[in-house]
Structure 1
Amino acid sequence: MNYDLSQIPERAIKPRQKGLTMVMDKGLSLRQVEDFLEVSSPYTDIVKLGWATSYVTPNLKEKLAIYKSAGIPVYFGGTLFEAFYIRNQFEDYLRVLDKFGMEYAEVSDGSVEMESDVKCEFIHRLSKHVTVLSEVGSKDEAKIIPPYKWIKLMRMELEAGAWKVIGEAREGGNVGLFRSSGEVRQGLVEEILTEIPEENIIWEAPQKSQQVWFVKLVGANVNVGNIAPNEVISLETIRLGLRGDTFDHFLDK
């Protein structure tokens, strides 16, 4: 850091297993990626190329190479997996991962109907080749999944070989873990944490109020995702109690 301050919470050191910041790239240019990494690389643990943006992104190989040179893992959004799945093209999906040298992949079912056993089989198969993140929750705001089912699915998917499970919120933070207003479904999150270790979960939390809520609940080293590239520095100050929202959270009482 640029100077010393006392009573700053200790952050896990990269490469870390908890305290992850997952950034969503929704179509950054090569120059924008370089500028983003110049400032935020120390605080970024993994990048998702949102939903199926990789299908239309120009200079995809060059973009992936820039992230790789900075030591930042990248993966394609789960909607791309679903797009291949619904078209019965899973083998083609594997070839795409191989073509682009992907070391991570996301398995989700937020936009398709998929039996949990089938999803777990895909996780198991993929885990033999890449590090798998699996997403739990629906993108349909009218579909409310009860807490016991979130817990059951998260446990099954971790046992199937997922490295982390992701709590669905979409890029807007208004479904899944959250109400349409963006308010956290507090009882859901707290119940999940009674059964699933917090280090195994990445909570999608694109809104500042959501990030603040999770930092206050879990601590500076909570895993959060779907962070906009221009919000990474802001999030880090929230984690460290250096923004008004968490200013006195880590101070000695």
Structure 2
Amino acid sequence: MVMDKGLSVRQAEDLVAVGAEYIDFVKLGWTTAYIIPKLEEKLAVYHEAGVHPYFGGTLFEAFVVRDQFDDFLRVIEKYKLEYAEISDGSITLPHEEKCEYIAKLSQHVTVISEVGSKDNTKIMAPYKWISLMKAELEAGSWRLIAESRESGNVGLYRESGEVRQGLVDEILNEIPNEKIIWEAPLKSQQVYFINLVGANVNLGNINTNEIIALETTRMGLRGDTFHNFI
């Protein structure tokens, strides 16, 4: 999953010309979809390339905090999106209520839900991550995003960007790996998950200029993973 932080239509065309073969999803980060010019044209570029675009979960939060969930549904329908993200990283939302939104939204589109806070002062214990993840899968989430922000220094990671290895190990003991998209914007984080899980691990928040570099890392054609797959 690649993070589009505000690409123009032309930049989106350049992105898919180089990387469409390696990209499954493009997330239009946080609420950028709400103000970007020529949004429909850009979404068409991604669709035509066989890449699935969706809006960042913060846009969902911006509607919900204003009690406008039905308006959010209309936005999803207007742009004919097949996927939508639900998160609660910027607002306080009782988890039972979040799961109710997941269940409602999953009747319209495929839901990807994000677990973890964007606030680096809120450190959740591993058992809490696991409990939330299980509940959201049961509510109807197709995939779970493990939060790190685009900076890669909250949620799964310490402020330095170092992986919280104990947390990851405990999650993998309880949640099927294929259900998780690990946000990993930094190369060291990508290498960690490739080494831990394997070449086909689901990675998210990948920078638009790192698509080819990441693919070589997956294939063992870069120094960090060179000896993995000989």
TM-score by length of 2: 0.99
Matches of 2:42 and 2:11, distance apart in 1: 10
Gaps spanning 5+ residues in structure 2: where? none
**Higher helix proportion, which one?**
2
Q: Which has the higher contact order (CA 8 A, sep 6+)?
A: 1
Please report how far the alpha carbon of residue 42 of structure 1 lies from its aligned counterpart in structure 2 after TM superposition: 0.3
Match of 1:111 among 60, 70, 90: 90
Which letter maps to 1:200? K
Alignment partner, residue 126 of structure 2: 147
Matches of 1:148 and 1:57, distance apart in 2: 39
Alignment partner, residue 219 of structure 1: 198
Secondary structure, aligned partner of 1:139 = coil
Please report how far the alpha carbon of residue 145 of structure 1 lies from its aligned counterpart in structure 2 after TM superposition: 0.4
Please report how far the alpha carbon of residue 100 of structure 1 lies from its aligned counterpart in structure 2 after TM superposition: 0.9
Which letter maps to 2:197? V
Question: How is 1:220-235 mapped onto 2 (pairs within 5 angstroms)?
Answer: 220-235=199-214
Question: How is 1:11-160 mapped onto 2 (pairs within 5 angstroms)?
Answer: 22-160=1-139
Secondary structure, aligned partner of 1:176 = coil
What whole-Å deviation, never above 9, does each CA across 1:166-204 have from its counterpart, x for those lacking one? Answer: 000000000000001000000000000000000000000
Alignment partner, residue 224 of structure 2: 245
State the identity as a percent.
Answer: 66
Matches of 1:153 and 1:81, distance apart in 2: 18
The runs of at least 4 consecutive aligned structure 1 residues that moved more than 3 Å come to none
Which letter maps to 2:187? K
Which letter maps to 1:126? L
Are residue 182 (structure 1) and residue 161 (structure 2) matched? Answer: yes
Aligned residues, how many?
A: 230
Which letter maps to 1:175? V
Gaps spanning 5+ residues in structure 1: where? 1-21
Are residue 172 (structure 1) and residue 151 (structure 2) matched? Answer: yes
What whole-Å deviation, never above 9, does each CA across 1:1-36 have from its counterpart, x for those lacking one? Answer: xxxxxxxxxxxxxxxxxxxxx000001111111111
What whole-Å deviation, never above 9, does each CA across 1:84-121 have from its counterpart, x for those lacking one? Answer: 01111101101111111111100000011111110000
Secondary structure, aligned partner of 2:205 = strand
